[in-house]
Chain A
Amino acid sequence: MKPIIEIRHIHKTYASGGAQVHALRDVSLAIEPGEFIAIMGASGSGKSTLMNTLGCLDRPTRGEYLLDGMDVAQLSADQRADIRNRKIGFVFQGFNLLARTSAIENVELPLLYTGAPAEETVRRSRESLRLVGLAGREHHHPNQLSGGQQQRVAIARALVNHPTLLLADEPTGNLDTRTSIEIMNLFQELNRERGITIVLVTHETDIAEYAKRMVVMRDGRIVRDQPIERRRDATAELAALPPLEPVEDAA
């Protein structure tokens, strides 16, 4: 199968306090459609730089980046903005939702920059919220939602433009264990049932084990790239957990 992401011999250097920092050194990676890949590494290993590069937030100093067969390594800022808008969905550790803005308005955000018609914007945003299990909470504001629900809104926002790639940067970093498993369950479902390609950046091995493949980075290089042998199944784990007392909604 033709990879949807192919980076070849990527280098990234930047000046920091007078010194040259080599954040990425000759990194090559191919990701095929429908993969669920975890990028691991300690802080300073270059995993964030790699994610920013994959997410077209940043440009590599050297090397090629083919996204959907198109070389996006040297695109202008505006062109990268358009790629992020149409091909990439971001999920962050801190949710990064707009405060005092309803869930549906947060989800609509990418579509506003796509220029989709108003009715289609609303329809697709509702659909996306339903997909992450938040139907009926369209008009809740972030401060009326739990952390897990906020992250689901962020996932709905990332999915609303039907991206080629879902990039998740420490998506469970701010969540408790149970909610983390719930979010990983959502990722596994999206990957399994909808064939969405997911790149998950994390420093926690037990979170990485929900993916199908693990890439470990150290000092700006990929030091290990292997399939996950004993993959965790979030659905089964949730079923095994003792049932919780229904928690009062923050709303």
Chain B
Amino acid sequence: MRLIPIIKIALRALARNKARSILTALGIIIGVSSVIAMVSLGQGAQQQVQAQIASMGTNMLIVTSGSQRVGGMRGGVGTSTTLIPEDIAAIEREAPAVAATSPGVNAAVPLVFGNQNWTTRAEGVSEAYPAIRNWTIASGAFFTAADVRTAARVVVIGKTVADQVFAGTDPVGQTLRVRNLPFRVIGVLAPKGQSQFGQDQDDTLMMPYTTAMKKLLSITHITSAYISATSADATFEAQSQVEALLRQRHNIRPGMEDDFSIRNLTDIADTAAQTTAVMTLLLGSIAGVSLIVGGIGIMNIMLVSVTERTREIGIRMAVGARAAHVRMQFLIESIVLGVAGGVAGIVAGIGLSLLLSRVFGWPQAVSLMSVLVAVAFSIAVGAFFGYYPARKAASLDPIEALRYE
């Protein structure tokens, strides 16, 4: 059986009933466009969450010192003084899955510059910190390994601090008093905005951890450490290596509690990504239901069409159409309705998601995958819901069909 004439016949039949064909395809258009719009908005949300998490740091582990037990009383997290910079140096040296490390101490500090004052969080970190946490420098420079070694009194400030304290003037090269000690400002960080938890990440000040420990806080331990693994896949391996090494260095016997804790950002990222993926799936399936409703619309119209065109079917059979020709004609008609609705639906869906993201400021990401799935699905819907009417048409008796009024 040659397909091209049959396709031609089907297209002519659809063209004879333009208004009906368009209305039938409308069901599919709505179904496909809502699937595309929902999925692309869902994926936009997913990408936004992932970008926010990536801004917290790449492949990152955070080690915090644990609680200290003093005569049966257990202090809060960070009260233990057992985590020291040497532990972190050992991790960098000995754990193969670890790429970079930075010790961390922090404290709330008052700042004074001229007649301005501000209180912010001071972070004592190493020169590796910007790479671990995805910070970039807007102007000036970050401090160096030499600054860390010599406990230099230099600071790098966040955008919020720069705005609050130095409003108008260039902070780089200025002297800022931190807890009444003079520090030289050597750089300003590029802004990151709010964290996922609503905290202003730019309200910060960074200095070498050595400076913070010796000159600001007079302590010998650190409260946290930032560790990046060699790759996203290696974070769990790095976590177990760090844990084993710290337990060994802190002489913790098997069965005893850790005096530190490790948080894995990959975990958080995975959970967040899963949540939005579930949301996308949910929205997509609700939209998918409307696609099925559209398919039922096709079946409905095709059944009416078969009844209405009984005589036409009889004529075709009288002049030599086989049952398979008739079946194929009606099947192609419904597939064409499905595909035409699918293509128009893709255009409408992309338009809709662009419009929604423009009006409401939602992120969107039209994915090739959702487009392909929508096309495949609309062909399948056309074929599936067209099969029964097509079979009904093909099973007509030509004599009866010719007599049909």
- Name the CB-closest residue of A to B325: A113
Which residue of chain B is the closest to A112 with respect to CB atoms?
A: B5
Q: What residue in chain B is nearest A83 (Cβ atoms)?
A: B320
Compute how far the CA of A92 lies from the CA of B9 in the bound complex, rounded to whole angstroms.
22
A-B contact pairs, 18 of them (CB 8 A): A57-B318, A57-B398, A84-B318, A85-B319, A85-B321, A96-B402, A98-B312, A99-B16, A100-B16, A101-B12, A105-B12, A109-B319, A110-B320, A113-B316, A113-B322, A115-B1, A115-B5, A161-B320
**A109 — which chain B residues lie within 8 A by C-beta?**
315-316, 319
Q: When chains A and B are docked, how far (Å) is the Cα of A182 from the Cα of B315? A: 24
B8 located at the interface, meaning its Cβ lies under 8 Å from any Cβ of chain A in the complex: yes
Q: In the assembled complex, how far is the CB of residue A52 from the closest CB belonging to chain B, in whole angstroms?
A: 6
Residues of B382-405 contacting chain A, CB below 8 A: 398-399, 402
- The smallest C-beta distance from A238 to any residue of chain B, in angstroms, reads 30
| B319 x A110 contact (CB < 8 A) | yes
Would you list the 6 A-B pairs with minimal beta carbon distance, nearest first? Answer: A85-B320, A112-B5, A110-B319, A81-B322, A113-B320, A115-B2
Closest beta carbon of chain B to A139's beta carbon, Å: 14
Give the bracket for the number of chain B residues in contact with chain A.
20 to 34
Q: Is B8 a contact partner of A112 (Cβ separation < 8 A)?
A: yes
User: In the complex, which of the residues B5, B12, B325, B399 contacts A57, with contact meaning CB atoms closer than 8 Å?
Assistant: B399
CB-nearest residue of chain A relative to B398? A57
B319→A90 contact, CB < 8 A: yes
Query: Which residues of the other chain, B, contact A113 by a CB distance below 8 angstroms?
Result: 5, 316, 319-322, 325
A157 touches B319 (CB 8 A): yes
- What range describes how many residues of A lie at the interface? 20 to 34
Residues on A with C-beta less than 8 A from B398 are 57
Closest residue of chain B to A49, judged by CB?
B399
- On whether the beta carbons of A81 and B399 are closer than 8 Å, the reply is no
- Residues of the A chain whose Cβ atoms lie less than 8 Å from the Cβ of B311: 96
Report the bound CA distance from A81 to B1 in whole Å. Answer: 13
- Taking a contact as CB atoms under 8 Å apart, the answer to whether B312 and A90 are in contact is no
Pair A81/B2 contact, Cβ less than 8 Å: no
| A233 within 8 A of partner (CB) | no
**CB neighbours of A58 from chain B (8 A):** 399
Q: Which residues of A contact B272 (CB under 8 A)?
A: none
B165 at the interface (CB under 8 A from A): no
- Chain A residues with Cβ below 8 Å from B323 are 77-78, 81
B51 beta carbon closer than 8 Å to chain A: no
Q: Is A82's CB under 8 angstroms from B320's CB?
A: yes
With both beta carbons as reference points, the residue of chain A lying nearest to B17 in the complex is identified as A100
The residue on B at minimum CB distance from A55 is B318
Chain A residues with CB under 8 Å of B157's CB are none
How distant is A53 from chain B, measured CB to nearest CB, in Å?
Answer: 10
Query: Within 8 Å of chain A (Cβ to Cβ): is B324?
Result: yes
Contact of B315 among A78, A98, A100, A115 (CB under 8 A): A98
